[in-house]
Amino acid sequence: MFVSLEGIDGSGKSTQARLLVEALGEGTVAIREPGGTEAAERIRELLADPAVSLQPLAELMLFLAARAEVTERVIRPALEAERHVVADRFSDSSVAYQGAARGLGVGEVIGLCEAATDGLWPDLTLLLRLDPETGLGRAEGDDRFEREGLGLQRAVAEAYEEIAVIASDRVAVIDAAGSVEEVHERVMEAVRERSRD
């Protein structure tokens, strides 16, 4: 099964991704986006650097380049070997951040994500829902996106709500308020439910 975790910065998805990987057991492949291959990790550094200014389309293309790499080299081979893959962010991040918040267009970005991944979407996307004020207070990093503050996080949170409606067949909304353990239990319930389908 291919599971992605999505949410605004500070929603706790990286912690939940780690716990989910442990729960799914040995052989589970963990990736974080952007990243997962040598080239993708270098692209991540470039994208996170507050000193580097990028116009929105160039920013999107870099995320897509990193995703094309990790999809072809890591995710597809793992799925073909019948391993679980847990991704800390995937195409929905581009749709929310670049398509909606940066204004490149939701439909356009969905199409470009499909081109970059050859049409691969997660079997299950866990959307960790948290209000943007709380998220920004929790966010630990200081990357280009977090520095942009509440306006960006609000636009992204709104976009995720739209994605949850458009892609309701694969998106499960998880209340990310509460303790790490409580949220993990909600995550596991959603995974069990999808496994039963």
Note the residues at the interface with ligand TMP (CB under 6 A): 9, 32-34, 63, 89, 93-94, 97-98, 141, 143, 145
Which is it for strands 85-88 and 2-6: parallel, antiparallel or unpaired?
A: parallel
Least separation in angstroms between residue 80's CB and ligand TMP is 23
Query: Considering beta carbons, is residue 84 or 89 the nearer one to ligand TMP?
Result: 89
Least separation in angstroms between residue 195's CB and ligand TMP is 25
Least separation in angstroms between residue 93's CB and ligand TMP is 3
What angle do helix axes 180-196 and 13-24 make, rounded to 10 degrees? 50
Q: Which two tokens stand for residue 186?
A: 């909600």
Q: Which two tokens stand for residue 97?
A: 């951040």
Query: Considering beta carbons, is residue 153 or 191 the nearer one to ligand TMP?
Result: 153
Least separation in angstroms between residue 25's CB and ligand TMP is 24
Query: Residues 185, 175: contact at Cβ < 8 Å?
Result: no
Residue given tokens 């997962």 in the structure block: 36
Residues 173 and 162: their CA atoms lie apart, in Å, by: 12
Total residue count of the chain as it appears in this document: 197
Least separation in angstroms between residue 26's CB and ligand TMP is 25
Query: Residues 117, 91: contact at Cβ < 8 Å?
Result: yes
Query: Considering beta carbons, is residue 98 or 117 the nearer one to ligand TMP?
Result: 98
Q: Which two tokens stand for residue 133?
A: 């004020």
Query: Considering beta carbons, is residue 116 or 195 the nearer one to ligand TMP?
Result: 116
Query: Considering beta carbons, is residue 81 or 142 the nearer one to ligand TMP?
Result: 142
